[in-house]
Amino acid sequence: MEKIDKYQLISMTILFMIGSTPLYELGIGVKQDAWIVMVAGLLAGLLLLALYLYIQRNHAGMDFFQILNTHLGKLVGTVLSVCYVVYFAYESMRNTREFGDIINISFLPNTPLSLLMLVMVLLSGYAISKGVEVFFRVAEFMFPFTIFGYAALFCLIIGSNIIHLDRLLPVMEHGLVPILEQAIPEVISFPFGQIVVFLMFWSHLNEKRKMVRVSVYSYLFVGVLLLLFNVLNLAILDPSITSITTFPLLRSVRLIQIANFLERLDPVIILLIYIGIFVKMTAFYLGAVLGLAHLVRISRFKLTVFVGAAIYGMSFLAPNFIYHVWIGFAQNLKYHFPVFQICIPALLAAIIFCKSWNDKKKKRAKQPS
Amino acid sequence: MNRWPFLILLLLIVPLFVTGCWDSKELNSLSIISATSIDRERDHWVVTFQVIIPQAIATQTGGGGAGSQSPTTIFSTNGRTIREAMQNASLETSRMLFFAHNSILILSEKVAREEGVGQILDFFLRPFESRETMSILLTKGKASDLLEVLIPLEKISGNAVKRVIDQSQRNLSQVQNIKLIDFAARVADPNASAMVPELQVSGNLKGQSSLDALKSPRNEAVIKLGELGVFRRDKLVGWLNGEESRGVAWLSNRVKNLIIVYPCSAKGGERDSLSSFRVLKSSTKLSSEIQGGKVTMKVQINARGVLDETGCKMDLSNPRVIAEQQRIIAKEINGEVVSTWNRLRTIETDAPGFLDVIHREHPDAWKKLAQSKHPLDEITIRPQIRVNIEHTDMINKPYSTLLEQNKRP
């Protein structure tokens, strides 16, 4: 069994959750209250995280697919496993296509999308073929650079005096209802609920006792970071401009101007976003590979190639970026992802809870006799 | 099996050499645009570019670009959309137009008044290479004329104009540089109006657009900042003159450095003698009050500065005299603010963003106001101005007092 330590888990959780999220303004449907949507999503996501951790805690050393099979039986377990493999691969493909298009829109408009995505999938596939440990070490290595990058951007934004906090007022103009409507389930499904894939990795952690604390703290840290950049976009671009901009953070960063020479920092943000995207797409890719390994008995390497090819192939499904974003944000987040992130884990947790409760009752019943 | 990792590695390395080929841009195949202007002729957009000629500015000795070649060249193209006009430009240039260094965008009054800036903003916010930090300017005549004027001391007039704006914003708060992104946000804001400075040519334009103009010390024409254009939503609706633009600066907390000229006494007695007060620091706080359905906007201005010049005869070391002076200055500011507000009300633009303040502080009252046809007419302002003369610089009594003493036997 491959082992990871808690620092690697921290780095992985944080980079994974950052992903491409800062680039988008989640909850912009409610204009200046978008950040409250983020807070609501963050808190609701914390409940989900607790749910996942509860499932994992009761089954140390088992990954998600094994747990599914143990509790739901061979047939249902296998069907759900296949569904999850598809789901993980799909999430991975979403990130692949997304970054390909970001590069197309921003830096290399004439470079073929197919090539950009091929490079990304190959890179992820290479990381995965080396195994879980190597991938987590890569995350650990990239973690300080990423955090430093975001911190530096934050300082530069402060330094160029482009923040207008008054643009966040009035707070909650239309009450709490539209905010919650935005937060649930959209902001939960992206990015907070995606942490479901960690059910595949937690079993590798060498210090099991630290799992809950490490995960929750990393989650809170990254939640605050995402919230910060969400607020910054609103305050820099004004809710109106934010709502029509494809990548608000990219635009905000382009406004940095310090002392007439430090400006046009968009490559920095693209680089940071790529680190996040790489970690996220590889994590989902790895999740799919590990899951498939339970179902079919062929070598890890062949699985990696197979899943990679599937991800690469799927990434051409959307005819254009507009459709890709529409299907992701307007369809998947509302109707499809919650099934995998909320419904099935909740069901599983309920079954586990009932079983353990039953066991306790039986024990108690036995004890007096 | 052992060959696989090697093959994958190879596959990963090869693309590294390939990327970028599709999008390579060589510096000597670009023509770098330093300024753009947009006019409207019948149903066509006329887009004019000022392109930098690298050879002409690549000289070691600075100062005026009085070489044999003009530092910039200009060409105009037209089309049904702005992009089409730009695309038509490639029919006449030898190099690819490179937009990322465009620092100013000049719109003609006609475009701003009749067409509105909606489509222009859409176009300039869209492409990746267009920068949100470019300055927006208006002009009353043909926008392309301004690109022709050569400016002494500077080689690239697009950059020069940007510097003129930056410089005057620092030293004279009535002029405000407005970046594309802020302009777009203001235009989109239903509770505030955008303001854009006007750029004008004064003098003989023909003379200053030839290279010979830079050889004589006196300029035939100069580019200068003029009035302030105010928008209602995406259309230009009026101009504010110098005094009114100062009033707007006071109202919207933008005063950083400003000279206030005021008479010696409140009655305006000694008519010839005037003094100057230089504002060093100022803050304006807007707050709204609702009383019985009436909206009052409290404008608290707190200006601090120094007495910079005076022709009056008075004892400046006496605090009571200083207090009197402060009162006169406050009255002067008050006059500017009130007359500006009246003017803004007549052209129905909310340049300082009063409705925004009400929206933030009293959302309910704002809802009522937003439905009214003339919301600004329902707002009354109550300026409260505090002026503090911190010191009188290097002399503490007016020089003119010395002349008085000499008269005495």
Q: What is the mean pLDDT of residues A13-35?
A: 88
Q: Does A170 touch chain B (CB under 8 A)?
A: yes
pLDDT digits (tens, 9 = 90+) for A127-149: 998 888 999 999 999 999 999 99
pLDDT digits (tens, 9 = 90+) for B205-215: 776 666 676 67
What is the rounded distance in angstroms from the CA atom of residue B290 to the CA atom of residue B297? 9
The token pair at B351 is 């340049």
Q: Does B18 touch chain A (CB under 8 A)?
A: yes
Distance from CA of A110 to the nearest CA of B (A): 5
**In chain A, whose CA is at the least distance from the CA of B182?**
A237
Q: What is the mean pLDDT of chain A?
A: 88
CA A57 to chain centre: 21
Q: Is the pLDDT of residue A171 over 50?
A: yes
Pairs across A and B, CB distance < 8 A: 74
How much is the pLDDT for B270?
Answer: 52
Alpha-carbon radius of gyration of chain B: 27
**In chain A, whose CA is at the least distance from the CA of B166?**
A260
- Whether the upstream peptide bond of residue B263 has omega within 30° of 0, thus cis, is no
Measure Cα distances from B399 to B314, B326, B394, B395 in Å: 10, 20, 11, 8
pLDDT digits (tens, 9 = 90+) for B282-312: 999 988 888 877 888 899 999 999 988 888 8
| Range with top average pLDDT, A180-184, B13-17, B137-141, B349-353 | B137-141
pLDDT digits (tens, 9 = 90+) for A187-222: 888 888 888 999 888 888 888 888 889 999 999 999
Q: Considering only A67-76, A200-209, B15-24, B372-381, which range has the smallest mean pLDDT?
A: B15-24
CB contact under 8 A, A263 and B133: yes
Residue ranges in B172-257 assigned as alpha helix (H): 180-188, 205-208, 242-251
pLDDT digits (tens, 9 = 90+) for B116-159: 899 999 999 888 888 888 899 999 888 888 888 877 777 777 78
**Confidence class of residue A223 from pLDDT cuts 50, 70 and 90?**
very high
Predicted structure pTM score: 0.85
Residues of B in contact with A170 (CB under 8 A): 359-361, 363
How much is the pLDDT for B271?
Answer: 61
* Residues of A (199-238) whose Cβ lies below 8 Å from B: 237-238
Q: Considering only A318-332, A340-354, B18-32, which range has the smallest mean pLDDT?
A: B18-32
- Give me the DSSP letters along B127-182: STTS-TTPEEEEESS-HHHHHH---TT-S-HHHHHHHHHHHHHHH-TT----BHHH
Residues of B in contact with A240 (CB under 8 A): 185, 188-189
Distance from CA of B175 to the nearest CA of A (A): 19
User: Which of B19, B131, B361 has its CB closest to that of A111?
Assistant: B19
Distance from CA of B252 to the nearest CA of A (A): 13
Q: What is the mean pLDDT of chain B?
A: 83
How much is the pLDDT for A14?
Answer: 93
Residue with tokens 């060409």: B75
Whether the Cβ atoms of residue B374 and residue B348 lie closer than 8 Å to each other: yes
CB contact under 8 A, B360 and A264: no
CATH number of A6-361: 1.20.1740.10
How much is the pLDDT for B318?
Answer: 85
Whether the Cβ atoms of residue A312 and residue A285 lie closer than 8 Å to each other: no
Q: Does B92 touch chain A (CB under 8 A)?
A: no
**Confidence class of residue A365 from pLDDT cuts 50, 70 and 90?**
confident
Residues of A in contact with B18 (CB under 8 A): 115
**Confidence class of residue B65 from pLDDT cuts 50, 70 and 90?**
very low
Domain boundaries, given as residue ranges, for chain A: 6-361
